[in-house]
Amino acid sequence: MAAMIRVAAPSRRLRRLACSCVAAVAFASAPSLYAQDEADPVKEARKTFFQGIELEQAGNWAGALRMFRDVGQVKMTPQVRFHIAVCEENLGKLVAALGGYELALADADSVGEAFRTEVEEKIAALRERIPKLNIERGKGAEAATIELDGIVLGASSVGVDVSVDPGPHLIAARSPGHEEFSTTVDVAERAVETVTVTLKKVPTTAKPVDRGGAMSNGRPHTEKKFPVVPVALLGGGGVLLVGAGAALIMRSVAMSDWRSLCPQLECDAEYQYDENELTTIEQSRTRAQTYGIVAPVLAIAGVGSAGTGVFLLVRESRRAKQRSESITSPPRAMVVVTPEVGSRSVGLTLSGVF
């Protein structure tokens, strides 16, 4: 009886390990292709690659991804791309993982048929898992700027299915004269979601006008003007009154100097004044007389100016009140009596507004 030998097909894990070994062999042979001063980076990259394999087998996808990306900075091979995509897929970055698998498939012939088969299976399975999001333009959003997760979408990405990673996504839209649109949609694996963007116009409120007076919150608004002339007269009157008070004080000082030499404001005829005393007496008498005239003049002018300012303020206030009442108050009743005399009758006609 002839003996039959059956060889089982290699499992997916074994094929992955085989691919990793091929990548390791590629890195092992790399030093012969570089000069001696470039051997150390390749050696470190080979060591980092094996560390990434260990983290991947342990399920530490984030740590393994960091290791493989560091290796890719030194030498990017189809195997390195493949393992980067595996980590991204397990981290939920399905769109990026699909791109990585497709790049690895483009150079799969340089590795072997088993590697190509593994990559093709990954691509086929991943394409079924990636969800789609279709953002459509609705009413008011015909010319709106639409953003997906903070990135402005071009015309070719609106109204079509766009591949996205599973999870929540923020959709925002803006257009002049419209309220902003913002919503969050949670997309599950293998799902196809459609979001219609609609924008509402910003409401505009017209201000009604009532009998020549502008209306604000249902109440008449009258323009208020600053009373420049009355305030200026009040201020000028105050300054004049202050000047009158200062003149009175200066007159009092001059009178005091005068009395110090002439107690009764009359010089002693028997007393022999020297020249300086006579000069002081004459100057004090002159200043007292001058301030005695200036003080009442300033006081009268100040009182007149301030009084005029108060009068104008009161009159302006009354006029403003009358204008306000004329806007808000209804028209008064008015009756007109017209006598009529005819060939056959005599009477009165009443007409008016009530």
Which tens digit of pLDDT belongs to each residue from 107-145? 999 999 999 999 999 999 999 999 999 999 999 999 999
pLDDT surpassing 80 at residue 313: no
Give whole-number Cα distances, 98 to 16, 72, 73, 134, 219, in Å. 17, 17, 20, 19, 66
What does the alpha-carbon distance between residue 101 and residue 171 come to, in Å, rounded to a whole number?
A: 28
The beta strand positions in the chain, using DSSP E, are 132-137, 145-148, 151-152, 161-163, 167-174, 181-187, 192-197, 209-210, 213-216, 219-221, 334-341, 346-353
Q: Report domain 132-197's class.
A: mainly beta
Segments making up each domain of the chain, as ranges: 12-129, 132-197, 228-328
Instruction: Tell me what the pLDDT averaged over the chain comes to.
Output: 79
Comparison of pLDDT for 97 and 302, the residue scoring more = 97
| Percentage of residues of the chain with pLDDT beyond 90 | 45
Q: Give, as one character, the DSSP assignment of residue 131.
A: -
Asked if 94 and 166 count as a contact pair (C-beta separation under 8 A), the reply is: yes
pLDDT surpassing 50 at residue 289: yes
Provide the pLDDT confidence category of residue 25 given band limits of 50, 70 and 90: very low
Comparison of pLDDT for 308 and 237, the residue scoring more = 308
Residue 325: what pLDDT? 67
pLDDT surpassing 60 at residue 218: no
| Identical fold between 12-129 and 132-197 | no
Asked if 354 and 331 count as a contact pair (C-beta separation under 8 A), the reply is: no
**Tokens 């969800």 — which residue?**
131
Provide the pLDDT confidence category of residue 255 given band limits of 50, 70 and 90: confident
What does the alpha-carbon distance between residue 193 and residue 43 come to, in Å, rounded to a whole number?
A: 48
Give whole-number Cα distances, 274 to 202, 255, 261, in Å. 94, 20, 11
Domain covering 12-129, topology: 1.25.40
What does the alpha-carbon distance between residue 163 and residue 133 come to, in Å, rounded to a whole number?
A: 6
